[in-house]
């Protein structure tokens, strides 16, 4: 590479060069210079924290046609390519040096060959375009949660999205001096056709754990390109392992309790299991909907939202089920929609509760009812993974501690999945180890018809984080077991399941989750009792009856309570067998794992011998 400063002076005008050199960091300068030499942009724009610089990015997205203004002030629409609508799991790989083994479940490629491949694809990818250099941070600035990041991209849409999703941190970056301790992300949308990435067959997302560096090319979808999201989660998990904290795929929810107290819980749920709707329960506080950093301080656990905005699935958001989000998406404020239908300047999406237009523009181009794609598939009015991007402070129930550098005290952890007849609606673990092993590390969730053309296929997803693990599963589980060793106040672990069914009908209503969360809040403060079962602690009927009336103004019957909290013994035993088989093939699984599962099997068999295969909560 040419002399770094000489190269930077060649491509940057005086104003942008001065902005970059004000950050006295050699690794940063080398990163930017290397990206320039590789991608060959026509010019470079360095974005500081100034409102003028951020406004420039926003306007550039409109000027370049990556976004189009909608009818409501502040709203814009972005379309990804028809075949670029989600995270690319198969082409998202770790660059693994010789001697590193991440485990059999993790997609990896030899570092030398992978680096050569992605560099070849990135070569000259920014010709005719402007390179944008952004400084952002994960976690509140000037806090122990903060991780500085530099993202380079040629997509104004990606850079604009980051303005809504993350904290600007050009000034924060100054505080790290010459430290190499920051995440680096290099993205290029590649060759464009009709303003979308053309060569999706050469889409690559490669993660270098050693250098804490992400490459992304030939894609615009934010999950593949906004490097501070799930791509940096992979880096953060690895860093957390070195520094003894947790980087998790979790929301943080503040629940209002008696006497004006607010109790904070985190929660990890696989896709389509109620994670977002739980994080946004009306009347409670949302501190984060997706990514949480958890750290130990003074014998307690404190958590912070790694992000400050929401990149959420817009499907099925309507005024009845999600009033707070629906309000934010239908009133004046800065919102980026992606891959919804636009009809007469108004965004429309699946399940929005409004009359559906017969024609408009969507990710397939000009759309009309009944339109088919090249494979003969009917194209719906909007993509099922259509998204909205909005700053979290735009929500009426945004937690006031969003930017608190101290984070918030975490008192509970929820693991949620989807199954028909294994798990009860809500349950408390016996202790942290029992919860980590039987609720978190053993998490399974049924697939939906939308993903596999058939329902009920149980998918293993420990801590709802399998897709983002950057270390062997056994090591990840051990991290969680070790995390509380020096704690005086250990969070309580709960499990939820909103998808029980009987003869095809759901046994829980969409709003029932509010009751389960209120029950957890009372349990954390030891203000109500619980029933001990073979798999955990469940609510008493009288407590739920009262809470259903107080929270939802609904009558809750004993008959329904029994149906919901029956223990299905054969199904629970079968799950233990499946989980033991999975971890039996995982090298290094802690011995305590099998001990805890074995004890649960024994409790289930003893209860089965006494009460039968279907155990009523009234039997205990």
- Annotated catalytic residues are 273
Q: Decide: residue 456, CB within 10 A, 0-12 exposed, 13-18 middle, 19+ buried.
A: middle
Q: What does the block give as tokens for 561?
A: 């309570």
DSSP letter string over 27-70? HHHHHHHHHHHHH--SEEEEE-S-HHHHHHHHHHHHHTTSSEE-
Q: Decide: residue 209, CB within 10 A, 0-12 exposed, 13-18 middle, 19+ buried.
A: buried
b/e burial code for range 214-230 (CB count within 10 A of at least 16 → b):
bbbbbbbbbbbbbbbbb
Q: Decide: residue 251, CB within 10 A, 0-12 exposed, 13-18 middle, 19+ buried.
A: buried
> Cα separations (Å) of 44 from 20, 130, 167, 601?
10, 6, 21, 61
Closest CA to 136 of 163, 102, 155: 163
> Cα separations (Å) of 234 from 101, 168, 209, 247, 417?
15, 21, 8, 9, 22
Which ranges constitute the DSSP H helices of 493-568?
513-524, 541-547, 558-565
| Cα 103 from Cα 469, distance rounded (Å) | 10
Helical (H) or strand (E) element with 178: none
Q: Phi and psi at residue 323, in whole multiples of 5°?
A: -60, -35
């Amino acid at each position: 590479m040419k002399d770094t400063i000489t190269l930077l002076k060649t491509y940057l005008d005086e104003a942008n060069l001065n902005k970059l050199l004000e950050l006295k960091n050699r690794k940063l300068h080398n990163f930017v210079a290397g990206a320039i030499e590789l991608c060959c942009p026509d010019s470079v724009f360095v974005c500081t924290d100034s409102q003028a610089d951020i406004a420039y990015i926003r306007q550039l997205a409109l000027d370049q046609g990556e976004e189009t203004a909608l009818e409501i002030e502040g709203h814009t629409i972005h379309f990804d390519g028809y075949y670029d609508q989600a995270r690319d799991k198969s082409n998202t790989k770790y660059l693994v040096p010789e001697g590193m083994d991440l485990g059999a479940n993790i997609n990896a490629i030899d570092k030398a060959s992978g680096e050569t491949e992605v560099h070849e694809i990135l070569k000259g990818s920014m010709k005719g375009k402007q390179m944008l250099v952004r400084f952002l941070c994960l976690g509140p600035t000037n806090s122990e949660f903060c991780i500085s990041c530099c993202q380079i991209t040629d997509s104004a849409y990606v850079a604009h999205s980051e303005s809504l999703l993350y904290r600007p941190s050009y000034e924060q970056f100054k505080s790290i001096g010459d430290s190499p301790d920051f995440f680096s992300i290099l993205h290029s949308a590649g060759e464009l056709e009709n303003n979308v990435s053309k060569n999706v067959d050469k889409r690559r997302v490669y993660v270098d754990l050693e250098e804490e560096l992400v490459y992304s090319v030939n894609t615009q979808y934010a999950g593949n390109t906004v490097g501070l999201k799930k791509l940096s989660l992979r880096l953060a998990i690895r860093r957390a392992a070195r520094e003894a904290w947790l980087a998790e795929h979790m929301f943080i929810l503040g629940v209002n309790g008696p006497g004006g107290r607010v109790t904070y819980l985190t929660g990890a749920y696989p896709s389509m299991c109620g994670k977002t709707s739980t994080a946004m329960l009306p009347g409670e506080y949302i501190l984060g909907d997706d990514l949480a950093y958890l750290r130990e301080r003074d014998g307690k656990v404190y958590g912070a939202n790694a992000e400050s905005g929401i990149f959420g699935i817009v499907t099925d958001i309507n005024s009845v089920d999600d009033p707070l989000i629906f309000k934010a998406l239908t009133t004046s404020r800065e919102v980026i929609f992606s891959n919804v239908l636009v009809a007469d300047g108004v965004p429309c999406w699946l399940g929005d509760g409004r009359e559906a237009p017969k024609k408009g523009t969507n990710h397939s181009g000009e759309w009309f009812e009944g339109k088919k794609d090249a494979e003969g598939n009917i194209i719906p009015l909007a993509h099922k993974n259509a998204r909205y991007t909005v700053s979290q402070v735009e929500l009426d129930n945004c937690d006031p501690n969003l930017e608190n550098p101290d984070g918030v005290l975490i008192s509970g952890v929820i693991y949620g999945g989807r199954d028909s007849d294994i798990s009860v609606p809500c349950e408390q673990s016996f202790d942290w180890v029992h919860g980590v092993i039987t609720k978190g590390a053993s998490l399974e969730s049924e697939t939906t018809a939308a993903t596999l053309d058939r329902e009920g296929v149980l998918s293993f997803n420990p801590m709802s984080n399998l897709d983002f693990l950057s270390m062997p599963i056994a090591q990840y589980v051990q991290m969680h077991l070790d995390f509380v060793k020096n704690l005086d106040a250990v969070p309580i672990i709960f499990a939820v399941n909103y998808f029980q069914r009987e003869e095809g009908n759901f046994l829980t209503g969409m709003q029932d989750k509010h009751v389960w969360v209120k029950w957890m809040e009372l349990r954390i403060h030891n203000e109500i009792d619980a029933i001990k079962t073979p798999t955990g602690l469940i609510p008493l009927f009288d407590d739920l009856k009262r809470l259903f009336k107080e929270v939802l103004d609904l009558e809750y019957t004993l008959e329904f309570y029994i149906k919901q909290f029956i223990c299905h013994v054969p199904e629970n035993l079968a799950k233990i067998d499946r989980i033991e088989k999975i971890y039996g093939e995982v090298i290094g699984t802690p011995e305590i794992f099998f001990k805890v599962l074995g004890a649960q099997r024994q409790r289930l068999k003893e209860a089965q011998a006494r009460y039968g295969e279907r155990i009523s909560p009234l039997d205990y």
